[in-house]
Chains A and B, each alone.
Chain A
Amino acid sequence: GNSVTQMEGPVTLSEEAFLTINCTYTATGYPSLFWYVQYPGEGLQLLLKATKADDKGSNKGFEATYRKETTSFHLEKGSVQVSDSAVYFCALIGLQGFQKLVFGTGTRLLVSP
């Protein structure tokens, strides 16, 4: 079945540091890929998405590129802020999955001033 693997956290960075959160997936065909973010006490917010190979999703300084050859969708940001502290989830929807999102385990990011 479809699955998503993302790096264990927490990831601890200083403000203005470079961020990478690794995400790889297993799925047949070309799934749609997503990054969601969850702030304390809140639901999930879509951060970015990509629906086909080589697509780059971007939002609020975050970027991720859909790499079919490495089945990856790594999240990057050039300069993190304290306000980016949250839990980040990588997810996919398979071709036959209707609206069933399959999530990774989440990676907690802690940014200190």
Chain B
Amino acid sequence: KAGVTQTPRYLIKTRGQQVTLSCSPISGHRSVSWYQQTPGQGLQFLFEYFSETQRNKGNFPGRFSGRQFSNSRSEMNVSTLELGDSALYLCASSNDRVTDTQYFGPGTRLTVL
């Protein structure tokens, strides 16, 4: 099976702009989660989608949003970018059980100038 894919891999934006990141899960996986990784805060959970519904959300401002499509592909959007949004954004997919493994994509490296 193909793994989790994320596009684009690298992105450079300026403050105030908005950005959309895309994630295609492993075929058959219906749960998609997003995480932010920074040197200072480590790995933090953003949100999780299952069957086009957001089931869980981390402690991030409303500028961070996401959605999931009927084919389980997911996008996340960050509006009004700030310097502190520079990070590696990781997407993970899994089956629905809590004990199931989350498989991660390679990430999108976002740099905000």
Contacts and interface: CB of A to CB of B under 8 A. Distances in A.
A105 B40 CA distance: 9
Contact of B56 (A32, A46, A98, A104): A98
Given A43-B90, A103-B43, A97 B56 contact: yes
B98 A101 contact: no
B109 to A, nearest CB: 9
Contacts of B96: 99
B99 interface: yes
Contact of B48 (A43, A44, A98): A98
A101 B90 contact: no
Size class of A's contact patch? 20 to 34
A102 interface: yes
Interface in B29-74: 31, 33, 35, 42-43, 45, 48, 50, 55-56, 58
A97 B98 contact: yes
A95 interface: yes
Given A100-B33, A100-B56, A89 B101 contact: no
Contacts of B56: 97-100
A87 B58 CA distance: 23
A101 B100 CA distance: 11
A99 B103 contact: no
Interface in A55-113: 89, 93, 95, 97-106
Interface in B96-113: 96, 98-99, 101-107
B24 interface: no
A98 B43 contact: no
Contacts of A42: 106-107
B94 interface: yes
A51 interface: yes
Interface string A22-52: 0000000000101010000011111001010
Q: Which of B4, B103, B104 has the most CB of A within 10 A?
A: B104
Interface of A: 32, 34, 36, 42-46, 49, 51, 89, 93, 95, 97-106
17 contacts: A44-B92, A44-B104, A93-B98, A95-B98, A98-B31, A98-B48, A98-B55, A98-B56, A98-B98, A99-B92, A99-B94, A100-B58, A101-B43, A101-B102, A102-B45, A106-B42, A106-B43
